[in-house]
Structure 1
Amino acid sequence: MDWRRPVVTISELDAPRSVLWQHATSFAGIRAELWPWLDMTTPRGLRARRLDEIAPSAGLGRSVLLLGGLLPVEYDDIVIADLEPGRRFLERSSMLTSVLWEHERVVEDGERGAVRVRDTVRFRLRAVPRHVPGVERLARATVTALFEHRHRRLRHHFGVPETA
């Protein structure tokens, strides 16, 4: 994948920033966004904690991603590289298919009282899958579809602001 072309997904939501931040940093919130396409296991050390309670650069452990909640299809060795509590986190991890996975979520004031959630994802496939024809295009399309799904779930759960 062209590292300079991230997958960016943005939603304006009708919920307080603090509520959206708590959702974004809890494994229950993350899992709710992924469902029913994917589920993910919670690393042992995080079962009773949120992502924003962890010191940046600390490895949080391995999470297994389960297609439909059943079939293991990927893993994520989760590392929070940077954190601005209440506003932003940057996950920089390795996965089975990606030597580098970078996911930044920003929760900030939007327009007309809304709150904007912006996800920016960059990834670099490992050498083996990268050499399969068309796999980078497929990986980008999959990540785009997954984050569009997550944002649909966010909009459904929290609502969208009424337009003026």
Structure 2
Amino acid sequence: MSGASHTFSFASILAAPPEKVWARVSTLSGVNAEMAPWFRMTGPQGVDHLEPGQLALGQRLFRSWLLLFGVLPLDYDDLTFVRFEPGKGFLERSRMISAKVWEHERTLEPHPEGTLLTDRIRFEPRLPLPGLRGLYSSVFRHRHAQLRRHFGGRLAS
């Protein structure tokens, strides 16, 4: 598996307008609500909401630890955005312990039922760890379920 690139995506139609969805998903507390209770991401004290003026695109913003059950360090993400468009989405291209390349693209598009939110993931693992793609995929399946629970909505077909 090492050296190979893996991709997957999830899409949900959320029963809320894009600006309301963005207000939640662009915050660390919103991301942590998506991952609860399994994981929590850390950030610098006092940083919750990201604004374009705070970001130097292409440069590491900060190191975020991924904590299993909110306490056990499992991985880190050197959080780096290469695109960040409020209300529309972002493209994160970072490094992790488990992945030498981690790309998370999230897009929000207006939809007759609210917002079409799509996550596309591409990663290159550092080591041949069986099941890593399945683990990452399960995390995003859970995140989308949490988003639909919060906003209402359904899986996109």
TM-score (norm 1): 0.85
Q: Which residue of 1 aligns with 2:86?
A: 85
CA contact (8 A) 2:26 2:49 kept: no
The structure with more helix, counted as a fraction of residues? 1
CA contact (8 A) 2:40 2:68 kept: yes
Q: Confirm or deny that 1:151 pairs with 2:124.
A: no
CA contact (8 A) 1:26 1:51 kept: no
1:159 is displaced (CA, Å) by 0.6
Structure 1's unaligned 5+ residue stretches are none
Question: Mapping of 1:10-159 within 5 angstroms?
Answer: 10-44=11-45, 47-50=47-50, 52=52, 53-110=54-111, 112-126=112-126, 129-130=127-128, 135-136=129-130, 138-159=131-152
1:51 is displaced (CA, Å) by 5.4
- For 1:160, the aligned partner's letter is G
Q: Secondary structure at the match of 1:36?
A: coil
Q: Secondary structure at the match of 2:95?
A: strand
1:55 is displaced (CA, Å) by 3.4
Task: Provide the aligned C-alpha RMSD in A.
Answer: 1.7
- For 2:83, the aligned partner's letter is D
Aligned length: 151
Q: Secondary structure at the match of 1:123?
A: strand
- For 2:117, the aligned partner's letter is V
Identity of aligned residues (%): 37
> CA separation in 1, counterparts of 2:113 and 2:42?
35
> CA separation in 2, counterparts of 1:30 and 1:98?
20
**Structure with higher RCO (Cα < 8 A, 6+ apart):** 2
Structure 2's unaligned 5+ residue stretches are none
The structure with more strand, counted as a fraction of residues? 2
